[in-house]
Amino acid sequence: LRVRIASCGEDAVQIAAVDPGGQPVVSVESLTLRAAGPGDAAEPRRDDSNSLLRVDWTARTLGAPAAPATWAVLGEDPFGLTAALGADSEAVAGVHAPAATLEE
The tally of domains found in the chain comes to 2
pLDDT at 74: 84
40 versus 57: which is more confidently predicted?
57
Asked if the model's pLDDT at residue 29 lies above 90, the reply is yes
pLDDT tens per residue, range 61-94: 888 877 777 888 888 888 888 888 887 888 887 7
Pairing of strands 24-32, 12-18: antiparallel
47 versus 27: which is more confidently predicted?
27
| CB-count burial class (<10 Å; 0-12, 13-18, 19+) for 16 | middle
pLDDT at 48: 65
- Classify residue 84: in a domain, yes or no: yes
Backbone angles phi, psi at 59, to 5 degrees: -70, 140
- Classify residue 46: in a domain, yes or no: no
Pairing of strands 89-92, 71-74: parallel
Neighbours of 90 (CB within 10 A): 15
pLDDT at 82: 86
- Classify residue 76: in a domain, yes or no: yes
6 versus 48: which is more confidently predicted?
6
Alpha-carbon 89 to chain mean position: 28
- Classify residue 18: in a domain, yes or no: yes
- Classify residue 17: in a domain, yes or no: yes
pTM to 2 decimal places? 0.38
pLDDT at 19: 93
Cα–Cα nearest to 31, from 53, 54, 51, 4: 4
- Classify residue 8: in a domain, yes or no: yes
What range defines the domain where residue 20 resides?
2-32
Measure the CA dihedral 31/36/39/45, to 10°: 10
- Classify residue 88: in a domain, yes or no: yes
